[in-house]
Amino acid sequence: MKPIYPFYGLTILSAFVLTCFINPVLAQEKKPNILLITIDDLNDWVGYLGGHPKVKTPNMDRLAAKGVAFTNAHVQSPVCNPSRTSFLTGLRPTTTGIYGLDLWFRDMEPYKDLVTLPQYFERNGYVTMSTGKTFHDAFPPKEDRRDGPEFTKWGFHGGFLPRPEKPLVENTGHPLIDWGVYPEHDNQQDDWKVVDWAVEQLKNPPKDKPFFLAVGIRHPHVPLFASQKWFNLYPEDDYLLPLMRGDDRDDIPPFAWYLHWNLPEPRLAWLQMHHEWKPKVRAYLASVSFADMLVGRLLDALEEQGLADNTIVTLLSDHGYHLGTKDITGKNTLWHESTRVPFIFSGPGVAEKGKLSDAPVELLDIFPTLNDLAGLPAKEGLDGHSLVPILKDVNHKRLLPAICTHGPDNNAIMTEQWRFIQYADGSRELYNRKEDKYEWQNLARLDGYKSIMDELAAYLPKSAPPAPGSKTRVIEMIDGEPYWEGEKIPKDAKIPMIFMQYKR
């Protein structure tokens, strides 16, 4: 019989603790890396979401097969800047008052020193890196787009390049509103170069700390350019157009038009008149598959460098995009085409593999979820909630709804069964997403649904006023009258049903 040494285990433990104190590499081994992939303007046209029957996204589907993919995930705003500000700060637009494109949250006194998601990870021992579009492209200001203060290390920022000397589609009303086969090679695209930089960081990760790497892919944001091979995935003779009804807006409140009153994207009627509806849809699908290939490059690099087992991968889109449904193209609505996005978690701490969850979740939930998965202290004051209970068991019931906001007092409330919309003038929409996935029948106009709407209305957030100086893409009610971008919409203004497009 071997002798028992009562202090043997304690001695080994003490030695391990001392070793970790001396060698921080060992102390950090159990901290997972974070790879945050943000995609711009990607709606539910992703394989696992079933938004388009022809779409080809093998790499996003491959990521979904490794973890938990949400089928009922929603943004907090259908506009780039407020959406990204929201999930990176952990605060709703109704909390900050940031509803439009033209305000950097640090210019607001209450938030100038706010600790964002990447900063919180940096303060807890991570090297944080950003490449491409993480915040809205205009922010932070160029003078602050250097190593620190928002990230430890800034990489290639890129943009919407290259672009042809002349537009491929003329008279769209805005230089970025363009689509077609361009350029000849994938590696000419800025998005390719963004991923190049990210892959280099994965090949040479920090030696003594875990990393938080944010990679912002701009496709399928306009211009919808991709090389010919991506268009070849979607033959012209295939039926590519989304399902829609010509009378879809007949039961929708007039106020719904104000949310996208005067935008760069042409209306559906313009596309039809110029025979550009199918070409634009095809270009969007090609751009989605191009973006998916870039996601694949990142996943391949993780595996090749032996980082996959210790890296949490989160993939999302900042909002969706209409391709003709509800008579429009673009975002800026509270319908599912604008608010519903891909949202995937895989890696350490995600117990479920290849599972789908239809729980109503929000991009706001990223901050507390990544904190939870990484074992960081909980951060006080966040508006979102950790999704770890669902990542451990997809049958876990989420009792809270998801909420999307576009301007003060315009909100959509999403549950597993319902989408409830209430506009600033009090008008409403209600859709049963279990029976009407295309949201064709507005039940708010029918008898028998008031109690359901009133129950959902209890979740409507109290809206902060628009942040001072905020204007672009902001719709608000002032003294009972609607204002778009600071200008009153006259009572006799004709609803832009057909040809209205942005004029500069």
- Alpha-carbon gap, residue 189 to 138, rounded angstroms: 20
Give Cα 318 distance to the centre of its chain.
Answer: 2
Q: What angle do CA 469, 474, 476 make, to 5 degrees?
A: 100
Q: What angle do CA 326, 332, 333 make, to 5 degrees?
A: 50
Which one of 20, 52, 74, 136 is the catalytic residue?
136
What angle separates helix 190-203 from helix 277-304, to the nearest 10 degrees? 10
Is 136 a known active-site residue?
yes
What angle separates helix 366-374 from helix 80-89, to the nearest 10 degrees? 30
Tokens of 329: 């193209």
Tokens of 354: 């290849």
Which one of 74, 80, 319, 336 is the catalytic residue?
80
> In degrees rounded to 5, what are phi and psi of residue 103?
-145, 130
Q: Where are the alpha helices (DSSP H) in 35-153?
A: 58-64, 80-89, 93-96, 117-123
Cβ-Cβ contacts under 8 Å for 169 (sequence gap 6 or more)? 177, 178, 179, 180, 274, 276, 279
Cβ atoms < 10 Å from Cβ of 223 = 27
Is 336 a known active-site residue?
no
Q: Is 86 in contact with 405 (CB distance < 8 Å)?
A: no
CA distances from 174 to 31, 223, 488 (A): 46, 10, 23
- Alpha-carbon gap, residue 254 to 492, rounded angstroms: 12
Q: Where are the alpha helices (DSSP H) in 108-180?
A: 117-123
Q: Where are the alpha helices (DSSP H) in 315-440?
A: 336-339, 366-374, 388-392
The residues annotated as belonging to the active site are 80, 136
